[in-house]
Every structure is written in C-alpha cells, then in structure tokens.
Chains A and B, each alone.
Chain A
Amino acid sequence: GAGVSQTPSNKVTEKGKYVELRCDPISGHTALYWYRQSLGQGPEFLIYFQGTGAADDSGLPNDRFFAVRPEGSVSTLKIQRTERGDSAVYLCASSTTGLETQYFGPGTRLLVL
C-alpha cells in the first residue's frame, strides 16, 4: 500500500516568507507526527496529532510554527516569517495508534535563503 507522502519534496524560500508543508499519512493511521532534521543531527520531535487534535506540541520551537490536521488525515505544517535557521528536512510520520511503529515519509527539504 501507499506509504506516507510529503509535498513538496524541496522548497526554497526567502527569509521572512511564509511556507506550508503537507503530509499525507498512511490511510487509517490516526497518529501523525512532525519532526525536523538538521544536517548531521537526528530528527527532533515537533508535534504529535491524535486524530484532529494536537496531543503534544511541546517540540515546536516558537510561535512561528503551527500545524493543523482538520479532518484527521492530511496535515499541514506552517512556518511564518521564515529564518535561515529553519533550513532543515521536515519529516512526517504516522502510526496506527500512538503506540505502534512510526512510518516516515521522504521529507521536505526546506532551504531559507
């Protein structure tokens, strides 16, 4: 079956701009996660959704970052007033419930110039 998909695969933007990153989880997975991976680092947790609600957003670095999952399936990560330090690979993962194996999408490579 289809895995987790993310769009766009690459995004180049200018400092100060707004970006949206999309994640389409595996069908039927109620849990969805966003992570950010900087060069040479492991992925870092950003936010976890169970259904439509954000169950844990403790990893969001500041209020420029926001994520939604209005219908409990597709999720969008939104970054306002992008900064060069936001450049990273943004990974989305989903699992059947919160406890099961997390399957990762291919990521969106964001470059802020």
Chain B
Amino acid sequence: RKEVEQDPGPFNVPEGATVAFNCTYSNSASQSFFWYRQDCRKEPKLLMSVYSSGNEDGRFTAQLNRASQYISLLIRDSKLSDSATYLCVVNGKNSGYALNFGKGTSLLVTP
C-alpha cells in the first residue's frame, strides 16, 4: 500500500466551478503536509503547506484531519490556468525530510 493515496482523476470542470481533491496518508507519524502543483513536463512546485487549523491562499483552501489521516484541497472559481496535476505530499517516514508524494490528481478546467 502506498503511503499517500489520491484519486488520480481526471477531474474535468468548467471555468468558475469549485473542485475538491482528497488524499489519505498511512504514516501517523508524518509531521508536514503539502500540496504541490505539476504542469505537464515540468517540475513540481509548492502550492501550499497544510496546517491542522486549515489554511487559505486566495481561491485555494487546504485542510488536514490528523485523526482520519486525511488532507483536502478546495479550489474555488476555477481558472483555465488551474489545469495541472495536484500532488498530495507528506514528509518521509525516516528522516522527516524526504517527501512522500501521491500519484497526483489531474485537473482540466474547460471554457
């Protein structure tokens, strides 16, 4: 079983829609949580860190439920430029520095 599980999608949504991605992780000792964005044939880039209290950055809201080992990302008012793969990431089980990535969820926002 992979340490980080995500629905691979694809999610096809119209511009302006709200879309939510979910992720579960298996290592209860994980300390840090992130969402990364990866465009086609590009490197992953940090979208936002995820905190237990939940956090928001513009149209993006991330939530963490440690008890359920569940992470979510909500995108409001989707833009065409949001089309990408969204990677759920937790810190590694050993050193705490290596990142464990999910397979990613593909999002396509259409006009």
Which A residues form the contact surface with B (CB < 8 A)? 31, 33, 35, 40-45, 48, 55-56, 58-59, 91, 98-99, 101-107
Which B residues form the contact surface with A (CB < 8 A)? 4, 8, 42-46, 87, 89, 92, 94-104
Known: A48-B95, A56-B94. Is A43-B101 also a contact (CB below 8 A)? yes
- Flag if B97 contacts A104 (CB, 8 Å): no
Cα distance, A45 to B2, chains bound together (Å): 13
Known: A42-B104, A43-B44. Is A33-B98 also a contact (CB below 8 A)? yes
**B-side contacts of A99, CB under 8 Å:** 96-97
A91 nearest CB neighbor, chain B only: B43
Known: A56-B94, A58-B94. Is A42-B46 also a contact (CB below 8 A)? no
Number of A-B contacts (CB under 8 A): 56
Give the residue among A33, A45, A59 with the most B Cβ atoms within 10 A: A45
- Flag if A42 contacts B98 (CB, 8 Å): no
Cα distance, A58 to B89, chains bound together (Å): 18
- Flag if B42 contacts A102 (CB, 8 Å): no
The listed residue (A35, A55, A105, A107) touching B97 by CB distance below 8 A is A55
Least Cβ–Cβ distance between B6 and chain A, in angstroms: 8
- Flag if A106 contacts B43 (CB, 8 Å): yes
- Flag if B43 contacts A45 (CB, 8 Å): no
